[in-house]
Amino acid sequence: AQKVTQAQTEISVVEKEDVTLDCVYETRDTTYYLFWYKQPPSGELVFLIRRNSFDEQNEISGRYSWNFQKSTSSFNFTITASQVVDSAVYFCALSDTGRRALTFGSGTRLQVQP
């Protein structure tokens, strides 16, 4: 069965520190998609990135980077030089053939202190 595990419930860092949010997934499929969403205090989940299972190239977008490793079934998210505005709950999600909709993890609450 498909499953997404975000073992870190809450992380607190000081501004300008680097922080990595972990995501481990389970799926029987060879074709699947992985996502990261950000949930600010306003509530709506905001899309950050998607990867398909055939593209293991890591991606960098500004201060954000993602490390996809099929060998360890992980899709980790790193924020470099964190800022207070990065404070939010971050969700990892999986899409495969087992369900009609995305399967989400429990989220990691990131607090960046000034």
Partner 1 sequence: ETGVTQTPRHLVMGMTNKKSLKCEQHLGHNAMYWYKQSAKKPLELMFVYSLEERVENNSVPSRFSPECPNSSHLFLHLHTLQPEDSALYLCASSQDLMTGKVYGYTFGSGTRLTVV
- List residues binding partner 1 (CB under 8 A): 4, 9, 33, 35, 37, 42-47, 50, 52, 91, 93, 95, 99-107
Measured distance CA(34)–CA(84) in Å, rounded: 26
- Between 17 and 38, CB nearer to partner 1: 38
Distance in Å, CB of 81 to partner 1, minimum: 26
User: Whole-number minimum distance, CB 106 to partner 1, in Å?
Assistant: 5
Q: Between 7 and 14, whose beta carbon lies closer to partner 1?
A: 7
- C-alpha to C-alpha distance for 67 and 80, rounded to whole angstroms: 13
Q: Give min distance, CB of 35 to partner 1, in A.
A: 5
Indicate the residue among 65 and 104 with the shorter CB distance to partner 1: 104
